[in-house]
Structure 1
Amino acid sequence: MSNLFVSRSLDEILFWSRIMKEHSLFLKLGFNCDDTELIHEADQFYKLFEAIETKAQNFTIQSDPKQIQQFNIEV
């Protein structure tokens, strides 16, 4: 049961972090080059979601469910 929780949690986080990372990239590329603040903000979001994705990839199915629960709260 705890492996199912870990697996589903990591799958969800990986899915949504990838989606949001891609969306932030699309936004960054879609802004007018004069919108430097918006481009910078989109780039910050890209880095944030990339960090979440990387952290999620470092967990395994054998990870402690309490660690995963804390990660769920964090993200």
Structure 2
Amino acid sequence: MEECRFGPIPEAEFALEPFLADLGPDRPNWQQAVEPSTATLLDWYWLVFVAGGISLAGGAGVALRSRDRRALRAV
């Protein structure tokens, strides 16, 4: 195991002037947040509705087939 020792930190490292000098007198140049377009989101809704309809129809078909098979076994 190595032991690391650090010496005292000079007072100049804690001075505010170097940090404040970078700010300058003008306002920060922040980029505006860009919101995603709702049109692109709505373009994909048709795909979700089609997939949901296919799943619903497939599930109903499977349920009807299993019901018919049970009715045939009971006879």
Bin of the TM-score, shorter chain as denominator length: 0.3 to 0.5
TM superposition score normalised by structure 1 = 0.39
TM superposition score normalised by structure 2 = 0.39
Bigger helix share = 1
Determine which structure has greater relative contact order: mean sequence separation of CA pairs < 8 Å that are 6+ residues apart, divided by chain length. Answer: 1
